[in-house]
Chain A
Amino acid sequence: MGEIMSDYILEMRNIVKEFPGVKALSNVNFKVKRGEIHCLVGENGAGKSTLMKVLSGVYPYGTYGGDIVYNGNVVQFKSISDSENAGIAIIYQELALIPELSVYENIYFGHEIMEGKVINWNQTIVEASKVLKKVRLNINPSTKIKDLGVGNRQLVEIAKALSKNVKLLILDEPTAALNEDDSENLLDLLRELKEQGVTSIMISHKLKEIVSIADTVTVLRDGSTICSMDAAEQKITEQDIIKYMVGREIENIYPKREKHHDGDVCLDVKNWNVFDQEAGREILHDVNIKVRKGEIVGIAGLMGAGRTEFALSIFGNTPGYKITSGQIFVEGKEKQLKHPRAAMDAGIAYVTEDRKGNGLVLIQDIKYNTTIANLDKLTEGIVINENEEINVANDLKKSIGIKAPSIKQFVGNLSGGNQQKVSLAKWLFVGPKVLILDEPTRGIDVGAKFEIYSLMNRLVEEGMSIIMISSELLEVLGMSDRIYVMSAGTITGEVLAEEATEQKIMAMATRV
C-alpha cells in the first residue's frame, strides 16, 4: 500500500467515533491532497471538530474505528505529541498562548532551542524573527502576547506551528474572531504557505471566504460525509455549500421585513466618553446614537473599534472603565446606570458576544439560565414559584425553538446555536425595551442563524428596539434599518440600510 507515494497527504477511512449515547461520526471518509487548502464545513454538531480531534490524537488510537493514512502509512496517534511529531499542527479557536510570556517564548514553548542543558535564548530570538517573517508579522519578538490583538495572536500561533516544521496545518475557525482586514490577511498567508508546500485544513462557517480560498470543500452533516467538491472540476458556490450543509436550499439568508425609520426615539445616548483606567487612555469619544422604537440599528466596525466596550458601558458594566461624561435617555428620561441591574430596570438588555465566557452558567440547566435575570417576576414573598418558573421556561423554549429534550438539560451540553437561543430566552423573559445583541450569530450554523434573524424580526415588529453589533458586514446590511459605523472609539458614519453598501461601510470603518 505504501509503495507508491500517494497523491493524498491524508486519508481518513470509515472513521467511527461514539460517545455514550451518541454516534458523533459514522463512517466518515475524508481525503486531503498534498499541498491544497481543504475546507471542512458543516453545521455545528456535524462532527468537524470531533474528526479533527481524532486526527490529532486528542482521541487516541483505539477509541475510534477506521484508519488514518498519513503520507501513505497507517498511523496510530496515541496523543497530540505523536501527531505533532508527524508534522500535524492544530490551531484551535481558543488560542493556546500564554499572555504573560513574550512572542518568542511562546513560539518555542514546548520545543525550546537548547544548548546543552540550558535554553539558548539568543538563538531562539533569531529563529523566532525568521518564522515571524514567514507569517508576515512585523513585530518585536519580545512583545508580550497580552499586548497583541486577536489577529496577530492567530499569526503567532501559525508561526509556532511553522517553527515545528508543520506539514499539515489544521485551523479551527481561524477567522471567527477576526475583522475583515485581518481575515483577508490570514487567507493570503494560507495561500503563501500553500506555495511553500504546507497543506491546510480549515474549518469555517464563513462561506464567502471558503469559496474564495478552497481547493476542495468537504461537507459533513450529522456525523457523515455528504460530499467533497473539487474547485478545479466545478465552480463551488455558497448556495451549493448551504444546500449540502442543511440538506435544503435557503433562498434568502436574511428574512424580509418592512424597514421603517419613523418610531419614537427609545434610547438616546449623548456625548458618551469612556476612559480605560488600566490602559490609561480614552476608549470612547463623544459617541452619539439614537435608537427608535421598532428599529434594528446595526453597529458595524472592525475589531477593536470599541463597540463591545460601548455596549457594556451603557449596560452599566464597566470593570476598569470610567464614564467621564455623557447622558443616557430612555424614552426621554435621563437615567443613571451604575450596574447591569439598573440598566435592566431602565429597560436595557445586553446579550453578550461571549456566551460561554460571560453569558451562560454552563453547569446549570435551561430553566435556571432562562429565569436567572428576572427572578423578581417569579418570587412571591421570598420564595421562588417553581411551577411558574417551569411554565415560563417551557413557553420560551417552545417559542424560540430551543432544541433540547427538556428544560432540565444542562446548557453546557447544547450546541452553539441552542446556547445562543437560551441567552436570548433569558433576556426576552426580562422583557427589555432595547435589546443589545453583540455578535448574535458568531460561531453558530446557518439554520440557527436564520431562526435568530426571524426572531429578531418578530421582536421589532412587536415594538422592541434592537441594537445589533456585528463584524459580518452582510449580516449588518441584511438585518438593519439603520447602521452606525464605529472606528477607534468614535462614530464615523451613519447610513440608512437602503443606501448602505459594503464599500461605504468599509470606508467609514477604516476612517479614523
Chain B
Amino acid sequence: MNENSKAKMSIGTEIATMLKSNVRDYAMYIALVVIFIFFGIRTGGLFLSSRNLSDLINQTGYVAVLAIGMTIILIIKHIDLSVGYVAGFLGAVSAILLKAGLNVWVVIPIILCLGIAVGIYQGFLVAKVGVPAFVTTLAGMFIFRGLLSLVTQGTGTIIVSDPTFKALSNGFIPDISSGGSIHILTIIIGVVAVILMTYSQIKSRKNMQKYNFQVSSAPIFVSKIAFITIIIIAIFSMLANYKGIPWTAIVVGTVLFIYNFMLNKTKLGRYIYGIGGNAEAAELSGVNVRKITFFAFASMSMLAALAGILYTSRLSSATPQAGLGFELDAIASSYIGGVSVNGGIGKVTNTIIGALVIMSLTNGMNLMGVDISFQYIVKGAIFILAVAFDVRTRGGRK
C-alpha cells in the first residue's frame, strides 16, 4: 500500500522533499565539500594529497573525541568549558609518567581514570550541588590551566620518546604484505566496510517496509548506496596510497561506535535525549536525571583525557600551551554537526563531520600560511554562522 502511494510521487519531487526535510544535514556536507574544493584550489592540490588528508585525520583525532563527549553534554543542555585544559593537563601528566619510566599501557588507563575523576568532581558540582555547568567548568578551565602550568613550570615542554605512545597519533596500521606501494590491508578493510554498510542499509530498509514506514524509492535508495560506496572507496584508496589507516582513525572509530551505539540502542541513550527534550518529563517518567547528568560529565572528562593523550602523542611532547581553544573547536564541531542549541537533538556521527569541517579549516589555513590571529577570526565567524543557520532552519519546530 505504501509502495503504491510512493510510486505516484515522481523521483523529482521525492528528491525535492528529501532535500527540503534534511536541509540541515546536507548543508554540513556541502560546507565540507566547498571547503575541500576551496583549499584544493588555493593550495594547488596540496590540500587534497593523500599525505595531507592522512595528516588531516591525525589532526582531527583529539577534536573528534572531545566533540563526541561534548555532543552529549550539549544534548542535555549543559556545557563544558574545561575540556581544553583538562586535556592539556592530563596530556602533560601522561608525558611526565612516561618520562618517569612507566609503561605506556599503564599510563593510558591511569590517565583515563584521572579523567573520570575530574568528571566526577565536576559532575558532582553540577548534578548534586546544583552549580550551573557554565560556572563549574569555567572555574575548571582556570583550575586545570593552573595545574598545567604548574606541572610544566620546571621543565617547560616535556618530550615524549615512547614509540608506541607516539604512534597513536602519528602511526599507521601495519600491512599484511610488505613491499608494495599500495596498503593491502587498508583496501581489504575498505571493501569490508562497503559490504557491511550495504548489508545494514538493506536490512534496515526491509525492516522499515515490514512496518509500513515510508522508505525512499528503489532508484533513490540504490543511488544513495552507490554514492556512499564511492565515498568509502575514495577515502580508503586515498589512505592506501599513502601509509594506510592511521591509528587515530581506529581510536576515534572505536569511540564513535561505542557512543553511537549507546545513544541509539540503549536506555541510557534514550534518557539522554529525553532529558534534553524535557528534563521534568523525563524525571516523572522514572529517569534519574541527576545520575545521567553525572555520567555525562564523567564521560566528557574521560574523553578529554583521551584527547589529551592523542594531542600529546601528535606533538610527541606536552607543552604549557596545550589545550588553548579546544573547547571552542569541540563545541563548534557539535553545533556544525547539527546538535540543537535548545538541546535534545544531535548525533555523534554528524558531530564527526562537524569536527572534520573545523579541522579542515585549520589545516587548510595552515597550508595557505594564514596568520594565526586571522585563523581565530575565521573560526569564530564560521561557528556563529553555523549556529545562526541552525537556529533559523529549526525555527518551525521549537
Tell me the A residues contacting B by CB distance below 8 Å. 315, 317, 339-341, 344, 350, 352, 357-364, 368, 372-373, 375-376, 379, 382-384, 386-387, 390, 394, 406, 408, 410, 412, 426
Contacts and interface: CB of A to CB of B under 8 A. Distances in A.
A361 B344 contact: yes
Contacts of B212: 406
Interface stretch (B178-186, B267-275, B382-390): B267-275
Which 9 interchain pairs have the tightest Cβ spacing? A361-B277, A358-B280, A341-B286, A373-B285, A375-B267, A361-B278, A363-B277, A340-B286, A383-B265
A408 B213 CA distance: 9
Contacts of B105: none
B107 to A, nearest CB: 30
11 contacts: A340-B285, A341-B287, A357-B281, A358-B281, A361-B281, A363-B277, A372-B270, A372-B282, A384-B266, A386-B265, A394-B211
A361 B282 contact: yes
Contacts of B280: 357-358
B207 interface: yes
Nearest to A374: B286
A384 B266 CA distance: 6
A359 B281 contact: yes
Nearest to A427: B285
Contacts, number: 82
B288 interface: yes
B281 A379 contact: no
Nearest to B262: A382
A24 to B, nearest CB: 14
A384 B270 contact: yes
B284 A387 contact: no
A361 B213 CA distance: 22
Contacts of B281: 352, 357-361
B277 A364 contact: yes
Nearest to B343: A363
Q: How large is the interface on B (under 10, 10 to 19, 20 to 34, 35 or more residues)?
A: 20 to 34
A410 B277 CA distance: 12
A258 to B, nearest CB: 32
A384 B274 CA distance: 15
A376 B274 CA distance: 15
Most chain A CB inside 10 Å of its own CB: which residue of B274, B277, B340: B277
Most chain A CB inside 10 Å of its own CB: which residue of B284, B285, B287: B285
Contacts of B392: none
B270 A412 contact: no
A384 B268 CA distance: 10
B345 interface: yes
B277 A358 contact: no
Contacts of B266: 379, 382-384
Interface string B226-243: 000000000000000000
Given A373-B285, A410-B397, A361 B274 contact: yes
A339 B288 contact: yes
Given A364-B274, A368-B270, A384-B265, 17 more contacts: A339-B286, A340-B286, A352-B284, A358-B283, A360-B281, A361-B278, A361-B282, A363-B277, A363-B340, A372-B271, A376-B267, A382-B266, A384-B266, A384-B270, A387-B207, A390-B211, A426-B285
